[in-house]
Every structure is written in structure tokens, then in C-alpha cells.
A and B are shown apart, each in its own frame.
Chain A
Amino acid sequence: MEHYNMNLTLKVWRQQNTRTAGRFETYKVSEVSSEMSFLEMIDVLNERLTSEGKEPIAFDHDCREGICGSCAMYINGRPHGPWHANTTCQLHMRAYKDGDTIVVEPWRANAFPVIKDLMVDRSAFDRIVQAGGYISVNTGNAVDANAVAVEKEKADESFANAMCIACGACVAACKNSSAMLFMSAKVAHLSLLPQGAPERNTRVVNMVAQMDKEGFGSCTFQGACESVCPKEIKITSIARLHGEYLSAGLTSNK
């Protein structure tokens, strides 16, 4: 791959904390290498700001290999930037050319309040999992791992859903700020396995109730979430969740 350098204009959302209002700041960054990752480009800018005694841009990041789900930037009108099935940390600067202007915003959703700059509070996801995103088995309770055979197709589909990294891009992309793709991935992961069957009904009911409480919107099946999901979770999982919810709601005795 041919390597090249570029000069860019960045418009970055800066916000001191949750209580204060934010604004865009414009930065010029020069001599950006096409081999840098997007976050490394921000690192370089941050080093400059720090040595000038200014506060660097705060953003969540950790593993930088697309699996921890920390990084969360809305870049030029798309969560995680222009590449398909990608996280912000894996976006590389060869996606841009000299002279480009890049607008960087935090995830926008009332359920994800901005903590600082590009960092948002996604603890609502943890609370949704607390509501039922698990299989209740204490350590030591388990039978032999091969005691229950699981149809390969179902196991694979369960895994495809379990790949969710809880980055929140689905919420950021959704017109309704719905967390349904995230939640349905968890419901599908667990309900496709025989181990998850006993709690199937209570799980979906409680998780939906928690999602509503957290202030996420409902799903209107537009597919924006699916189009930006770094792990390519399918919107059909949401349809599956609807089915699970209906059967739970309509068959309960109370």
C-alpha cells in the first residue's frame, strides 16, 4: 500500500462535563501518515495540545483491536466512520485524503449522557444485562460440558449474536436511540441455547422493561443499526426478540 501524508481539518465536540454545554472546536493537523489509525491521529493531536498546556480530547478507548467496544466516535455522520463492519480504533487514515475536513461527535442519545468531550456514559447497557442478560448458574452447579448437545446451526447463530461488543453504535445510529440491536443480540445469544431456555420468558420481559426505563426508544426497523454494527449483528435478532416478548407476554398466567 502506497504511503502518503496529509493535512486535515478536524472539528471535534468539546464538552467539559455532563453539566456544561459543549461546542465544536476546529483543529488543523498536519503531516498525518496514511498508516496511522484514526485514534493515533487523535493521539498526535492530543500530544500537541498537552504540550501546549491545553486539555487533550477525552475519548474512550482501550484494546485498539476492535473487540473491547470502548471506542465510540461518530465520524462525518457515521458511527465508527466510513468503513463497513469496523470500530473507530480499526479505522485507518488511508480512508482520507489531503485537505479533508472531519467532524467528530460523541454518541448522541439521552440514555448515553456525555461525560466529557467524546466520552459518554454507557452504564445503561450494564443495567440492561443486570435485568436478565445471563443464565442463572452458580459456580460449581454445572453438568459435564458435553452432556447436552447443541445443534451446530443454533450454536453458530448464538455465537454470531454473542459477538456483540456493546459499543453502542446501534444506539448512536438509530433515529429513535433504540438499544434494541444490543439487547436482542443478548436475548438471541442466550435463548438459542438449551441452557438459556428456563429463563427465556422472564429474561426478555425484564430486559425490555429496563431498556424502557433507561430512556431508549423503540425499534422501527429502519436498519441503520445493522448497517453500522462492527460485528454485523442482524436486525432479524430484533424481530426474534419481538417474538420472544410476545410469547412471554401473551402466554403468562398473570
Chain B
Amino acid sequence: MKWSEFFTSSVGKKFVMGFTGLFLISFLVIHVGLNACIWANDNGVMFNKAAHFMGSMVVIRIMEVGLLAGIFLHAIQGLVLTAQNYKRRSVGYAVPMGNTGSPWYSRWMGLLGTLILLFLILHWYNFWIPSRFTGVEEVFIDNKPYDNLYGLMLLTFSNWWVVIVYVLGCISLAYHLMQGFHAAFKSLGFHNRKYLVVIRNVGNVFSIVVSGAFAMMPISMKLGWVS
């Protein structure tokens, strides 16, 4: 079987979705862990150091490229698949099945993904572009200069509408993950029913905890829960 056949088949495409999905999930673990440093309540010292550490590692810089590729692959493939699948039924039902056979968010993965993508664009504009390209104000810790990402966060999240958009983005992420987490494993061929129960539960907890943690960051900053 040629690579081209594999990756253009419906199962191959789902393999790409599942694989990139799990890769992005693994990034979320790092991202949420790093960001959780803001709750160290040390005026962002730990957070800024950690961010600097990540930003200055060659390996991480290379992985960042992979990450971007993963996001675009996941997003584009997802949108193409959604559109293709939608076209498989030209005449719809007068009475749709609704939620009687599947939870609503599982049927709206394309929409949730699009919302997340839109949110990401804002997120990049807010943080990633300044830190990589346009530059961030510096702060001195132990007489060494660091990018004051912590300060940027405080500034960004002083705006209520930004906080709201971020929270909405995190809610989209939570639902997207609740379906995506277990579906990714199934797309990769995990079929043992005993383990799938575990994966499903872990997925649900992961979705809520990680998305919740992300959502709490802008809220914490706006409400002054961190110092």
C-alpha cells in the first residue's frame, strides 16, 4: 500500500486527525503546566523563567515548528473532512435524529474546532507574535533580562471582553476534547473495551481539568487572584 493511498483513504485521514490530535493534547499538558506557574504568586518570576527556559531550548524551538504544522494539518484536514462528510447526504431528514443517538458536541466537532482556531488566532496575536517577532517588554530577575510575558498577560487580561473570549475558547476546547480524546485513540485502533472505558473517563477528566485551568488563568488575573 503506497503512502499516497494510505493518507488519502478515509481511515488514513482519520489516522492523521487522531495522531495530530493526540500530539496537540500532549502539548496542552506542557502548556497548562507551564502557565500554571502564574499561580506561584511570585509576581510572575517563576512563570517568566519557565517561559524563557522553554523559549531558549533548540529542541523546543524545533518542536514549535512541528506544533504549528500539527495545528494546521489538524485544522485543515478536519475542515476538509467535515465538508466531505457533510456532502455525503444531499437530501437531509425532515426530522433529524438530534441527540438521541449521540451527544451534540460529538456532531459539532468541526464548529468547535473552528471556534478554537479563531480563538487561537487571537491568542497568537496576543502572546505568540509579540514573544517571537514584535518583542515583549523586558524585566530583570536576578539581574538578568527576561521577556515579561507575565506582565503581558496581566495587561491583556485587564480587558473584560478578552477574558470572555478566552473563557469561551476554553469551553469550546473542553467539548472538543471530550469527544476528541477518546475518538483519537479509537482512530488509532484501540479497541479493547476495558481500556476504552478508562480512556473515556480519563478523557473527560482531562478535558474539564485542562480547559478549566486555562479558563481560570484570565479570570484569576482579571479578578486579581494572583500577585
Contacts and interface: CB of A to CB of B under 8 A. Distances in A.
Interface of A: 11, 24, 74, 76-78, 103, 105, 108-111, 173, 175-178, 205, 208-209, 211-212, 215-225, 227-228, 234-250, 252, 254
Contacts of B91: 108
Given A212-B9, A221-B106, A221-B182, A74 B93 contact: yes
A116 to B, nearest CB: 15
B52 interface: no
Contacts of B5: 209, 249
A250 B97 CA distance: 37
A217 B186 contact: no
Contacts of B101: 78, 173, 222-225, 227-228
A35 B104 CA distance: 35
Given A24-B94, A108-B93, A249-B12, 20 more contacts: A77-B97, A77-B98, A77-B100, A105-B95, A111-B88, A176-B88, A177-B85, A209-B9, A217-B10, A218-B14, A219-B14, A222-B102, A222-B107, A223-B106, A224-B101, A228-B101, A235-B186, A238-B186, A242-B191, A254-B1
Nearest to B3: A249
B188 A242 contact: yes
A243 B185 CA distance: 10
Given A224-B102, A244-B189, A236 B1 contact: no
B196 interface: yes
Nearest to B11: A245
Interface bracket on B? 35 or more
Given A217-B84, A239-B190, A242-B189, A223 B102 contact: yes
B27 interface: no
Contact of B96 (A77, A109, A218, A225): A77
A249 B6 contact: yes
B183 interface: yes
Contacts of A209: 5, 9
A116 B91 CA distance: 15
B94 A110 contact: no
Nearest to A24: B94
Nearest to B96: A77
Contact of A175 (B6, B85, B189, B190): B85
B193 to A, nearest CB: 6
